[in-house]
Structure 1
Amino acid sequence: MTDAEVQRAAGGALWRCSHPDGDPPDEGIEVALVHRPRYDDWTLPKGKLNPGESDLAAALREIEEETGYTGSPGRYLGEVSYLKPTDGEARPKVVCYWEFRATGGSFFPTEEVDDLRWLPVDGAKGLLSREADQGILEAFEEQPVTTSVVLMVRHASAGNRAEWERDDRLRPLDAKGRRQAEGLVSLLRPWAISEIVSADFVRCVETVQPLGESIGVSITQDPLFSELGYPGSEERAIELVRTMANREWVTCLCSQGDVIPDLLGRLARQDDLAPHPRKGGRGSFKAKKGAVWALCWSRGRLVGAESLGPPHQGLEASLELPGTLG
């Protein structure tokens, strides 16, 4: 069975506080289920990917189309696989799910979805028509909901260090790196990024420059996240990342290959985060050039991390706290 023969879809556990003025994760949490009259079933919002669309982008789009609500992505929750009858034969289908916090909107019935219910997780599990979907909500409730996200980007391709004769801090992106930087714009679009921080190397700044220009956010340069500024200042770097994590918005941070694995490893050990690879994942904190780690935090504590490959290479691995979804 080739990848082309597998039907891919994506969706999410859309949640909100049960009280309008509630403050997660202290207040009760409700998740949204939708009713599809065509199948007469209750399900998490989901749908098929459009051509060239990433799993996460499709999940965000489908949630808005089926529920009327916009959402902010949080932890990756896993996938559900099953055989779906298509053109007289059973075709494998894989649905990937994320956690999404409802950020606005309202529901209006359509021909595809005629009802929506906000329910506590236990109630939602009881109403779901497909038993396999209950595992997604079990994964959702295993960790506190995400309150902030830090997107840690490794700079894109920048040629060969050995062939660069000038100050290495000035080495720019090559043609491949410029394409990767442009690709980051669409890869990171599902997150409403409010802040961009970069190591003060030209290749790091150039990696997030198209992103900053596309969303109208300026880039703050900080030498602390460069391979020259980080050694000996690891605790300061950790403190600054945790400051980012305590803000209720999304920060994009561009750094280098010698910094990211060590920095993530230190943060993970402090918060008892263990490598937990998905299928085909390496289960480590390494990142290819142009790749992204989406770090999910709950009240300043790291509760999940997801490795997004360089643009157009897809999802590579995820990490969860020990004992959670495999």
Structure 2
Amino acid sequence: MSPTRAAGLVIYRKINQSIQFLLLQTSYGENHWTPPKGHVDPGESDWVTALRETKEEAGLGEEDLEIYKDISKTLDYKVKGKPKEVVYWLAKLKNPDKEVKLSDEHQALKWLPLEQAQQISGYDDMKLLLAEFNEKAKKL
């Protein structure tokens, strides 16, 4: 069985040299917290999906973000027993005060420093990804 594919952006902003990650709380299922992401549509590339989903879910377009195409990571896990692959790219919000506009798919958003973002993300692979991206963001 080939895995379901999804793609998204791990978005951060810098406030007084402090890195904060954007996490969105789903309005369905277990109401988990995640970066903006979504399923890859037939014929669509992972990259196009990441941009489309970020615009749909957070109201942020490519013009709002500095996206690091060379910094990405793919997470592999199971959802209801079926394999899923999600590729994330790191992106910096150009204007840290830019308003995030949630879609109906999400009920809340938070900008959090690494440790708090890791706590509410809940999953070990996401905690590792956030730590990795945090280290890379410090050097940018």
Q: Which structure has the greater CA radius of gyration?
A: 1
Following the alignment from structure 1 to structure 2, what is the Cα–Cα distance between the partners of residues 62 and 79? 16
Letter in structure 2 aligned against 1:92: P
Greater relative contact order (CA < 8 Å, ≥ 6 in sequence): 2
Displacement of 1:145 after TM fit?
4.9
Letter in structure 1 aligned against 2:51: L
RMSD (Å), alpha carbons: 1.9
Q: Provide, for residues 246-290 of structure 1, a one-character-per-residue CA deviation record: whole Å limited to 9, x for no partner.
A: xxxxxxxxxxxxxxxxxxxxxxxxxxxxxxxxxxxxxxxxxxxxx
Question: Does the aligned pair in 2 maintain the 1:84–1:92 contact within 8 Å?
Answer: yes
Structure 1: unaligned runs, 5 residues or longer: 20-26, 147-297, 299-326
Work out whether 1:73 is the aligned partner of 2:67: yes
Q: Provide, for residues 126-147 of structure 1, a one-character-per-residue CA deviation record: whole Å limited to 9, x for no partner.
A: 111323211110110222457x
Q: Provide, for residues 29-57 of structure 1, a one-character-per-residue CA deviation record: whole Å limited to 9, x for no partner.
A: 11100000202111122111122221122
1:55 matched residue in structure 2: 46
2:77 matched residue in structure 1: 82
Displacement of 1:11 after TM fit?
1.2
Aligned residues: 133
Identity percentage over the alignment?
A: 30
**Equivalent residue of 2:87, what SS?**
strand
Q: TM-score, normalised by structure 2?
A: 0.83
2:6 matched residue in structure 1: 9
Q: Provide, for residues 223-260 of structure 1, a one-character-per-residue CA deviation record: whole Å limited to 9, x for no partner.
A: xxxxxxxxxxxxxxxxxxxxxxxxxxxxxxxxxxxxxx
Question: Does the aligned pair in 2 maintain the 1:43–1:130 contact within 8 Å?
Answer: no
**Equivalent residue of 2:56, what SS?**
helix
Letter in structure 2 aligned against 1:143: K
Structure 2: unaligned runs, 5 residues or longer: none
Question: Does the aligned pair in 1 maintain the 2:5–2:84 contact within 8 Å?
Answer: yes
Q: TM-score, normalised by structure 1?
A: 0.38
Following the alignment from structure 2 to structure 1, what is the Cα–Cα distance between the partners of residues 138 and 5? 26
Following the alignment from structure 2 to structure 1, what is the Cα–Cα distance between the partners of residues 92 and 136? 14
